[in-house]
Structure 1
């Protein structure tokens, strides 16, 4: 009962604050990408504060965070890890499903922030577009974030990586850094959320130039390093 009450309080406060933040985001976008990036930080910190205050959920980082642009390959277990990514990873360009880009207001704003929009079917055309936009992000000096499993997964699930990750890694010639997290233990897709500590684990950088099999194997191990 307490967990449900805490979850209800969090939802009331966080989503109540999120409505005006999201609605005013296009205004921030008018003033340019740097302003929008700073504005998005407000929303991320709002979630972080709300989660700590009402849910008792806090986070910690383990492993060394890169000091140069990289291709982040990350686990996605909950809304918490997805929302925290812009601040945790220093405003990366995000590989985003086209369905999300079509959400009114939010979709347009996230593309202005920096997103690579792709189709689920991983067609040759979609992969070429992803590579083209990835190279533009690299030229701008920004890291790129991809969730290579394609969707949110439950704790303990370790599906194979989708082909888009290896294609992007090969085309960009950037080091890939796996990022594991265990947020799904505390933040299930449905049901009450539980207090505790979420860990974000930065794995060893994967150098460019490896074969598809090797880079996928190393990335898969890295993003699942916290599964027990």
Structure 2
């Protein structure tokens, strides 16, 4: 049954997603609002497919501010990138430059308002990231970042990359860490399994703390669900 669920999911979700991705540059001609609506429609479609085909439900714990905030999130699967876009109301996401440089699609990503980060962490790259983030905040949007830098297995807790500290210092926003255990049902390799994915919004961390203290609080809250050994 699990294999059958995965086959049906692949047969439905990915072809539709491919069509939506190919159409996104055309949608982007209509401006940022059109792209955001298109992206949100895609994440809603993702939610329908994961719930009714794969049997994956979502449990949300904790609360979050109604005003813009910085959301550093655990990254174990594609699942939370889609879910958090929908739940947080189309936040501006921090994405690596390689994705933003994909012809046409990358242009649509920039139209959406993604914050592009260069892994070289040069001063120029950091200034560009801060500028994009400040624009998003002025538009009333939340900022979402995966500060560990990459997708990890359940149980792995790598240190935070420098990008989070830069955003925290410059934006002066409250921080809401997001923990997840999505990797338990959505492994990097192998079949996706039915189950419950928890998205836990941690306690709000105020702006203005020393870097080491803020990073320690964020790292602990992001990894609050890491109770299992790697798969």
TM-score (norm 2): 0.94
2:99 aligns with 100
Per the TM alignment, residue 121 of structure 1 is displaced from its structure 2 partner at its CA by 2.0
Q: Which residue of 2 aligns with 1:188?
A: 187
Taking the aligned partners of 1:104 and 1:126, their CA distance within structure 2 comes to: 20
CA apart distance, 1:9: 1.2
- C-alpha distance in structure 1 between counterparts of 2:60 and 2:91, whole Å: 17
User: After TM superposition, what 4+ stretches of structure 1 lie above 4 angstroms from structure 2?
Assistant: none
| Cα contact 2:64–2:204 (8 A) shared by 1 | no
Shift of 1:23: 1.7
8 A Cα contact 2:175 2:207, kept in partner: yes
CA distance in 1, matches of 2:103, 2:185: 29
CA RMSD, 1 decimal? 1.2
The answer on whether the counterparts of 2:160 and 2:215 sit within 8 Å (CA) in structure 1 is yes
Q: CA deviation at 1:66?
A: 1.6
Q: State the 1:166 CA deviation.
A: 0.7
- CA shift, 1:37, in A, is 1.2
Structure 2 residues not aligned, in runs of 5+: none
The reply to whether residue 54 of structure 1 matches residue 53 of structure 2 is yes
| Aligned length, in residue pairs | 227
CA distance in 2, matches of 1:197, 1:16: 25
Task: Tell me, in whole angstroms, the C-alpha distance in 1 between the residues paired with 2:132 and 2:18.
Answer: 30
Q: Residue 95 of structure 1 contacts residue 118 of structure 1 at CA under 8 Å; is this kept in 2?
A: yes
Aligned partners of 2:79, 2:104: CA distance in 1, in Å?
21
| Superposed displacement of residue 100, structure 1 | 1.1
TM-score by length of 1: 0.96
Partner of 2:135: 136
Residue 112 (1) aligns with residue 111 (2): yes
Q: Note the C-alpha offset of 1:177.
A: 0.8
- 1:179-215: CA deviations, max 9, x gaps? 1111110001111011001111001111000000000
**Separation of aligned partners in 1, 2:73 and 2:67:** 17
- Residue 165 of structure 1 and its aligned partner are, at CA, apart by 0.4
Q: CA deviation at 1:76?
A: 0.7
Render the CA deviation track for 1:84-119: whole Å, top value 9, x for unaligned: 221111111111101111223332211111111111
Partner of 1:38: 37
